A and B are shown apart, each in its own frame.
Chain A
Amino acid sequence: DAKTTQPPSMDCAEGRAANLPCNHSTISGNEYVYWYRQIHSQGPQYIIHGLKNNETNEMASLIITEDRKSSTLILPHATLRDTAVYYCIVRGSILTGGGNKLTFGTGTQLKVEL
């Protein structure tokens, strides 16, 4: 799986959008971008994933650049409960044997403040 690079920490004011960047310049064509978060050392929680199109769900939006070498996770209205470590993971297809294995980096510690 391709490696990812994320800033170690970010701050965001409550109610504002949190934009978390991720660089994955070595991503290959069949690899997906996944985002998870981990709150207070609980088990990681899935947020969103995408291949090349932008995606949105009830939690967040995922913007993937046209060359797929980077992406941004957007939490549109961050709350204190969004304080967590956010992991960007590039994951291969299960069909090619890579999808079962998630390679975690050190992630971005997002701190949402009043």
Chain B
Amino acid sequence: NAGVTQTPKFQVLKTGQSMTLQCAQDMNHEYMSWYRQDPGMGLRLIHYSVGAGITDQGEVPNGYNVSRSTTEDFPLRLLSAAPSQTSVYFCASIKDRVNTEAFFGQGTRLTVV
């Protein structure tokens, strides 16, 4: 049981480049989320999804797009990377509407130069 898998683990981008951070979960969880963590700070919510085909914005959505075509996958797209997007990105999933814990991936460390 892999849980929540994020790829890649590390990435360096040049300003203006685009890329997709991948997140997959094999637990059949309904809810998935993306967070970013800047040095010395807690995690901040970027986007979230309550099910396939349904997404919504979190606290810091600007510069990021998401889609949820399947239950398992929730990719995060940076259309035009900026140095301010240098951060560690975490994907999380929650089983369903009953209050249960969130499972987090191991993170993607992104540097934009």
A interface list, Cβ under 8 A from B: 32, 34, 36, 41-46, 49, 87, 91, 93-95, 99-107
Does B25 count as interface, using CB distance less than 8 angstroms?
A: no
B61 interfacial contact with A, CB 8 Å: no
B-side residues, CB < 8 A to A, are 4, 31, 33, 35, 37, 40-45, 48, 50, 58-59, 88, 90, 92, 94, 96-99, 101-107
A107 in contact with B31 (CB, 8 Å)? no
A46 CA to B31 CA in the complex, in Å?
16
Docked-complex contact B90 and A43, CB < 8 angstroms: yes
Would you give the shortest CB distance from A29 to chain B, in whole angstroms?
14
- Secondary structure class of chain B's binding surface, majority of residues: strand
Q: How far is the CA of A41 from the CA of B41 in the complex (A)?
A: 11
Per DSSP, are chain A's interface residues mostly helix, strand or loop, or mixed?
loop
A-B pair count, CB < 8 Å, reads: 65
Judging by beta carbons under 8 Å apart, are B90 and A44 in contact? yes
B105: which A residues are within 8 A, CB to CB?
Answer: 43
CB of B42 within 8 A of CB of A41, answer no
Whether the pair B44, A104 counts as a contact (CB closer than 8 A) is yes
Contact B97 A95 (CB under 8 A): yes
Once bound together, how far apart are the Cα atoms of A32 and B107, in whole Å? Answer: 26
Complex: A95 Cα to B30 Cα, angstroms: 13
Question: Could you say which of B40, B59, B96, B101 has the most chain A C-beta atoms within 10 Å of its C-beta?
Answer: B101
